[in-house]
Amino acid sequence: KQWYQRRVRGFSSYSTLQTNTLAMSKLKGFGFEVFGKVQGVYFRQYTCETAEKLGIVGWVANSKRGTVVGIAQGQENEIEKFKKWLKEEGSPLSKIEQTNIEKETDLEKLEFDKFTYMAAYV
């Protein structure tokens, strides 16, 4: 917390303003592809749930190659947590062999409203 003094109608008052670290961090985006046992183990569902908890937007889908692919966008600190989840955790029944992070970019604004999973293969 940071304390700020402000003047309101001729008298001084103190108010606490929490520094909103989320609002101050950068918006980031990236593409991902996860290899291993990631289809048929609820990986997309858990990816959506994790993304929503972290305030991440984008999408996830199964690929025809047997991997899971997607795009994620959000606050930099939450994006880093999401990358770690994609690389190390995944769904309870998944076995992640490799996660490729691609096209990391800084964003001016988010391009999606929410995080969704696609039912079709891409």
Q: Establish whether 100 is a catalytic residue.
A: no
In three-state form (DSSP H/G/I as H, E/B as E, the rest C), the secondary structure along 75-86 is EHHHHHHHHHHH
Q: Using the predicted structure, report yes or no on whether residue 71 has a pLDDT greater than 60.
A: yes
Of 62, 65, 77, 100, which is the active-site residue? 62
Helices (H), 1-122: 21-24, 43-54, 76-84
Q: Establish whether 7 is a catalytic residue.
A: no
Q: What's the pLDDT band for 2 if we cut at 50, 70, 90?
A: very low
Would you state the torsion angle of the CA atoms of residues 109, 112, 114, 116, taken in this order, to the nearest 10 degrees?
A: -150
Q: What is the pTM of this model?
A: 0.77
d(CA 45, CA 84): 17
d(CA 23, CA 5): 21
Work out the average pLDDT over 1-11.
Answer: 31
pLDDT tens per residue across span 9-36:
333 333 333 333 444 579 999 999 999 9
Residues in contact with 88: Cβ distance below 8 Å, sequence separation at least 6, in sequence order: 96
Of 44, 65, 77, 100, which is the active-site residue? 44
Task: Give the β-pairing of 57-62 and 115-117.
Answer: parallel
pLDDT for the residue numbered 24: 55
Percent residues over pLDDT 70 in the chain: 79
pLDDT tens per residue across span 76-99:
999 999 999 999 999 999 999 999
Task: Give the β-pairing of 11-17 and 2-8.
Answer: antiparallel
pLDDT for the residue numbered 119: 79
